[in-house]
């Protein structure tokens, strides 16, 4: 669904909502960029057609053989359901949406703390995981994990074209005890994130495809793992638009004045977006329980290794 709101001052707000059954973040960002290009270039411009053969992206084996417990990992209903513990429901008025700006200089310092090559996404996720865990005041023995979206286009066998328009994302779940999230170096936490993402390989993807065929054959109803008002604590979920460039959204009048998600309805859900104003900087949009906002804001720019209890 798309909504255009024209303001008296001449400004235009473009609101878009898209179900993930239709497109993942990579496909959606490609669509937005192509849409803007078509408007900017006008008549006579022909956009290349995306790859849309969904059947070719999910071919089960002749005898489907799921290897992993996908019912517990990706869906509700199984024991574990991909979380450290069953998720509570929090009244929406107890969930606060906050925005944190991370300057390019801060991110460069984070990278140096990792001590090895890493992406902006990995070092920022490690940092925020540490600070949110500390702000929540969790027990050192408790487990906490991050739900990370992994683009499977290049990981499948055979690989799926990068211009595939659809959803080709699975979850990775880096998981550590609270004492390790807080006590390990940045390099150690980044390593846990990287290792979890690496496990989403061609074997895992094929197993997921086979699981889908078996579930369909059995007429099984599978429910998503997060709903409005869900409290993910002690876990978090992350989405990233760091590969997006604002100049791609030029509809002929220049790049947008702002680019931001609407209110996030799930506690512990966060989105990284490149800063529109300062190159190399990143804005974090995050939903936290009201009680955790103040302690998080006090420490979100600290690079100190924190004790297992605040």
For 256-286, the pLDDT digits (tens) are: 888 888 788 899 999 999 998 888 999 999 9
Q: Which CATH number belongs to the domain containing residue 134 in this structure?
A: 3.30.559.10
74 lies in a domain?
no
Domain assignment of residue 204, given as a range: 2-51+90-300
Within 10 Å of residue 210's Cβ, how many Cβ atoms?
Answer: 21
Please tell me the distance from the alpha carbon of residue 250 to that of residue 45, in angstroms, as a whole number. Answer: 15
Residue 250 within a domain: yes
Mean pLDDT taken over the chain:
89
| Residue 77 placed within a domain | no
Which CA distances in Å does 122 have to 19, 44, 111, 112, 231? 26, 42, 9, 13, 23
Considering the domain boundaries, does residue 78 fall inside one? no
Within a domain: residue 164?
A: yes
151-155, 213-217, 236-240, 274-278: range with lowest mean pLDDT: 274-278
d(CA 130, CA 103): 18
166: region left, alpha or beta (phi > 0 left; psi from -120 to 50 alpha):
left
Nearest to 264 by CA among 230, 299, 298: 230
310 falls in which pLDDT band (50, 70, 90)? Answer: very low
Using alpha carbons only, give the angle 208, 210, 215 rounded to the nearest 5 degrees: 95
Alpha-helix runs per DSSP H in 12-167: 25-41, 70-74, 104-114, 120-136
Q: CA distances (Å), 161 to each of 26, 48, 152, 228, in order?
A: 12, 13, 10, 33
Active site residues: 20, 250
Instruction: Note whether residue 39 is domain-resident.
Output: yes
User: Model confidence over 66-101: pLDDT tens digits?
Assistant: 999 998 888 765 444 455 566 777 778 889 999 999
pLDDT digits (tens, 9 = 90+) for 23-47: 999 999 899 889 999 999 888 888 8
The torsion region of residue 87 among left (phi > 0), alpha (psi -120 to 50) and beta comes to beta
Number of structural domains found in the chain: 1
Q: Over the range 255-293, which residues count as b (16 or more CB within 10 Å of their CB) and which as e?
A: ebeebeeeebbbbbbbbbbbbbeeeebbbbbbbbbeebb
The answer to the question of residue 140 being in a domain is: yes
- Does residue 57 belong to any structural domain of this protein? no
Q: Kindly report whether the global pTM for this prediction surpasses the value 0.85.
A: yes
Taking CA 100 as the corner, what is the angle to CA 285 and CA 278, rounded to the nearest 5 degrees? 100
């Amino acid at each position: 669904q798309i909504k255009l709101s024209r303001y008296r001052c001449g400004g235009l707000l473009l609101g878009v909502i898209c179900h993930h059954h239709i497109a993942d973040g990579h496909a959606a960002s490609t669509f937005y960029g192509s849409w803007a290009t078509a408007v900017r270039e006008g008549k006579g411009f022909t956009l290349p057609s995306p790859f849309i053969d969904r059947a070719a992206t999910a071919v089960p084996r002749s005898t489907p053989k799921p290897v992993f417990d996908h019912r517990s990992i990706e869906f509700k209903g199984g024991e574990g359901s991909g979380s450290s513990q069953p998720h509570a429901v929090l009244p929406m008025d107890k969930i606060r949406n906050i925005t944190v700006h991370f300057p390019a200089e801060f991110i460069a310092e984070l990278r140096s703390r990792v001590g090895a090559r890493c992406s902006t996404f990995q070092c920022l996720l490690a940092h925020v995981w540490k600070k949110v865990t500390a702000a929540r005041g969790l027990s050192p023995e408790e487990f906490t994990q991050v739900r990370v979206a992994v683009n499977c286009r290049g990981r499948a066998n055979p690989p799926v074209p990068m211009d595939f328009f659809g959803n080709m994302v699975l979850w990775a779940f880096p998981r550590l005890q609270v004492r390790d999230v807080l006590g390990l170096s940045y390099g150690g936490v980044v390593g846990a994130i990287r290792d979890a993402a690496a496990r989403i390989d061609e074997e895992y993807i094929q197993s997921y495809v086979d699981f889908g065929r078996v579930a369909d054959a059995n007429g099984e109803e599978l429910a998503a793992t997060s709903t409005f008002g869900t409290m993910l604590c002690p876990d978090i979920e992350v989405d990233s638009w760091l590969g997006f460039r604002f100049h791609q959204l030029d509809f002929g009048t220049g790049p947008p004045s702002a680019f931001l998600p609407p209110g996030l309805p799930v506690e512990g859900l966060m989105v990284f977006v490149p800063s529109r104003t300062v190159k190399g900087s990143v804005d974090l949009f995050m939903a936290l329980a009201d009680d955790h906002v103040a302690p998080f804001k006090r420490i979100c720019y600290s690079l100190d290794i924190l004790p297992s209890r605040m």
